[in-house]
């Protein structure tokens, strides 16, 4: 009943949301034609809706005229409550302060990790994680730290798919991954070596509340410095425990 006369069955709201949902980290800027195609909204309708969205600053234009998410949506998005990030942030900041290394916090969302916070400085190695960004679980330290504490049925169905292989070091063989997850559970943290990004290695610890992995805290180094990772594990785990206590309490 909420559809317009021209396209019964699809509401205007769903078209507006399809237009907004057409943007993602891989496609942060789109031409109107791309936007119409990705959202499945007819070009003339997309043109009209984009005009309204631009006027409200939900969308804006890049210098080359392509469309992108606008400042008003950023501001609005900042109102979304995120108790985990708020509680965890000072721990990330302290861990960065005591180690000088990139640290980030991620949660599982579906079959991916979603980065909810990140602390980095001027001298740290550039890393691929981005606040609000997503990555697959098995090649990332935070992903492994989360996956290791998921129930068996979840891990089995995760491993049953064809797994992405972003680098030649990525472990995609299900048996080997399952054994590695068992090691993560035993030792309480995960390590990666160039499995997501050539040149980077990482350590990550789960944030466990009542045994449930609510998040994972990771630290990323240049892989030239991989042998320094072990000494970072204890401060990393201490911070993850601190976050778990703050969040669960």
Residues contributing to the site for a copy of itself (CB under 8 A)? 2, 4, 11-14, 16-17, 20-21, 23-25, 28, 48-49, 52-53, 56, 58, 60, 62, 68-71, 73-82, 89-91, 93-94, 96-97, 114, 119-122, 130-133
Give least dist CB 233 to a copy of itself, A.
21
What residues are paired with 213 via a beta bridge?
Answer: 208
Give least dist CB 33 to a copy of itself, A.
19
Nearest CA among 92, 99, 94 for reference residue 116: 92
- How many angstroms separate the CA atoms of 227 and 137, rounded? 23
Give least dist CB 223 to a copy of itself, A.
21
Give least dist CB 231 to a copy of itself, A.
20
Decide whether 49 or 148 has the Cβ nearer to a copy of itself: 49
- How many angstroms separate the CA atoms of 198 and 69, rounded? 30
Give least dist CB 23 to a copy of itself, A.
5
Decide whether 9 or 175 has the Cβ nearer to a copy of itself: 9
The residue assigned the tokens 């994972």 is: 216
Decide whether 143 or 190 has the Cβ nearer to a copy of itself: 143
Radius of gyration of the chain (CA): 21
Decide whether 77 or 248 has the Cβ nearer to a copy of itself: 77
E strands within the chain?
29-30, 59-61, 67-69, 102-109, 112-119, 134-136, 190-193, 200-209, 212-222
Decide whether 21 or 198 has the Cβ nearer to a copy of itself: 21
- How many angstroms separate the CA atoms of 218 and 143, rounded? 9
Assign 80 to helix, strand or coil: coil
Give least dist CB 185 to a copy of itself, A.
28
Give me 144's structure tokens: 């492994």
Decide whether 96 or 149 has the Cβ nearer to a copy of itself: 96
DSSP-H helix ranges across 79-188: 83-99, 141-147, 152-160, 174-187
Burial class from Cβ neighbours inside 10 Å (0-12, 13-18, 19+) for residue 184 reads buried
Give least dist CB 28 to a copy of itself, A.
5
Decide whether 117 or 180 has the Cβ nearer to a copy of itself: 117
């Amino acid at each position: 009943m909420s559809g317009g006369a021209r396209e019964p069955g699809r509401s205007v709201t769903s078209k507006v949301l399809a237009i907004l949902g057409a943007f993602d980290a891989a496609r942060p800027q789109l031409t109107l034609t791309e936007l119409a195609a990705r959202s499945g909204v007819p070009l003339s309708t997309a043109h009209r809706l984009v005009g309204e969205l631009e006027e409200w600053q939900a969308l804006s234009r890049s210098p080359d005229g392509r469309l992108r998410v606008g400042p008003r949506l950023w501001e609005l998005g900042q109102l979304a409550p995120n108790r985990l990030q708020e509680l965890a942030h000072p721990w990330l900041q302290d861990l960065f302060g005591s180690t000088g290394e990139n640290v980030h916090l991620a949660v599982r969302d579906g079959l991916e990790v979603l980065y909810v916070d990140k602390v980095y400085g001027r001298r740290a190695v550039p890393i691929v994680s981005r606040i609000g960004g997503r990555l697959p679980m098995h090649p990332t330290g935070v992903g492994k730290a989360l996956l290791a504490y998921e129930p068996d049925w979840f891990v089995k169905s995760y491993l049953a798919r064809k797994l992405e292989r972003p680098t030649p070091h990525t472990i995609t063989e299900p048996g080997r991954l399952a054994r590695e997850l068992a090691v993560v559970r035993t030792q309480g943290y995960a390590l990666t070596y160039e499995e997501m990004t050539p040149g980077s290695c990482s350590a990550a610890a789960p944030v466990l509340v009542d045994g449930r992995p609510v998040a994972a805290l990771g630290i990323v180094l240049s892989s030239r410095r991989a042998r320094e990772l072990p000494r970072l594990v204890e401060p990393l785990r201490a911070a993850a425990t601190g976050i778990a206590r703050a969040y669960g309490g």
